[in-house]
Amino acid sequence: MVVTDREGCRGEVTAVASVDESGDGEVEQDSDLESFGDMVKAFRKRAGLTQEQLGPLIRYSVQYIGSVEQGRRHPSTKFVDRVEEKLDAFGVIRIAANQLTRRRGLAKWFRRWAELEKGAVTLNTYECRSVPGLLQTEAYARTQIRDVPPLPTPEDAEARVVRRLGRQALLRRTPFIAFSFIIEQAVIERQTGGPEVTRELIDHLLGCGELPNVDLQIMPRVSPVHAGTDGPFCLLETEENEWAGYSEGQRTGRVIFDPKDISVLNQRYAKLRIQALNPADSAGLLMRLRGSP
């Protein structure tokens, strides 16, 4: 089966992230996650602890522990470190977590990012290829999915549209995620789907830009100084105040955790926010691009 990786790129996978509007961060069942969860459960029982007793020791909720043990959630780095220490696991849990990461293929990298998105407190996105999936209209999404080879069946196309639009509930989820989007002007001027789809898209972008937790900036067509020439990327801050990044290309994608790489991406995003039009000027440009009703 072929599905979207993040916003508009596609890749061959065997499973995808489930849309969980609760923000719980759980994913579809995965045999590797289930095996890891069974290992944590075994070490917990070896230590003579219930989930309720382990929770205060590692400062995680019973619900979180249960989700990990049932294979419904990827463990965070802090969770792995704390259970490794408190359960005296001889390094086994940490090794298993590292192997879990290495075994993830393309779709699982994206599934990990989709999970991180749902638990984010900050999400920054720079795009130069297409409008980010979190901001797409249904018509724009359908055009993208319909026109990029290999062409999907009607059933696959519908499933992808539903999945992509379902993620947009994050924009209005409470507590709010602080969103920042920087989009190249050329992405709008391309008129993907035609003039009517583009006008609807611009109206939608203007509406999203009015949300109290969303900053939408347009990078003007003429930009002599530009910090984003290496391509699009995303950054997010987790509930644990850790940062992760995401980089995507043709049929590839990876989540980035290395602190040095994250520092570089944060520096670039800071520059992009200065170089792009501010939100008010961006809204004005969008209205000019839209033209008369």
List pLDDT tens digits, range 200-224. 999 999 999 999 999 999 999 999 9
Closest CA to 93 of 147, 44, 165: 44
**pLDDT tens digit string along 69-90?**
998 887 888 999 999 999 999 9
Distance CA 243, CA 236 (A): 6
Q: What is the pLDDT of residues 173-210, one digit of tens each?
A: 999 999 999 999 999 999 999 999 999 999 999 999 99
- pLDDT exceeds 50 at position 159: yes
pLDDT at position 8 over 90: no
Under the banding of pLDDT at 50, 70 and 90, the label for residue 292 is: low
Give the number of residues written for the chain: 293
Q: Most distant CA pair in the chain: distance in Å?
A: 70
Quick one: what percent of the chain has pLDDT higher than 70?
86
What CA–CA distances, in Å, run from 17 to 116, 160, 245? 11, 11, 18
Give buried/exposed letters for 212-221 (b at 16+ CB in 10 A, else e): ebbbbbbbee
Say which residue the tokens 């130069």 belong to.
Answer: 128
